[in-house]
Amino acid sequence: MQTVDLSKAFLNGRPLRPVNAFIRQYTPQFEMLGVLMRICSFSLVSWLGPESPFLFVWVFNTLDAILLSWCAVLKKDRAYTLLNVFWIFVGIVGIIRACGWM
């Protein structure tokens, strides 16, 4: 039975090649941006507590998780891919809860 690597099938697809090449070229900068985004979102919650704009924080946190996941997949870093994909799912739940849909 032949296995298919979904990360290769998705991320090496023809429409995404230029985007992937750009991200690969600037991976350290994108990773630093993602880390700074995460620090800012958690700092905002720490400083403002219950007065935090939770929907904004969850959207911002989910976007940084997508960015960091993309970098980790391109680097074939399984541990950070798992960690950041987990944060994407946490962010989706946070967004749903902040919108009052759950």
Is the pLDDT reported for residue 73 higher than 80? yes
Is the pLDDT reported for residue 96 higher than 80? yes
| 8-state DSSP, 13 | S
pLDDT at 91: 95
The residues near 93 (Cβ < 8 Å, ≥ 6 apart) are 102
pLDDT at 28: 96
pLDDT at 31: 97
Is the pLDDT reported for residue 2 higher than 60? no
pLDDT at 10: 57
Quote the CA–CA distance of 48 and 55 in Å, as a whole number: 14
Please state whether the predicted TM-score (pTM) of the whole model is above 0.85.
Answer: no
* Exposure letters 3-41 (e unless 16+ CB within 10 A, then b): eeeeeeeebeeeeeeeeeeebeeeeeebbeebeebbeeb
| Tens digit of each residue's pLDDT (9 = 90 or more) over 8-60 | 655 556 778 888 999 999 999 999 999 999 999 999 999 998 888 999 999 99
pLDDT at 26: 96
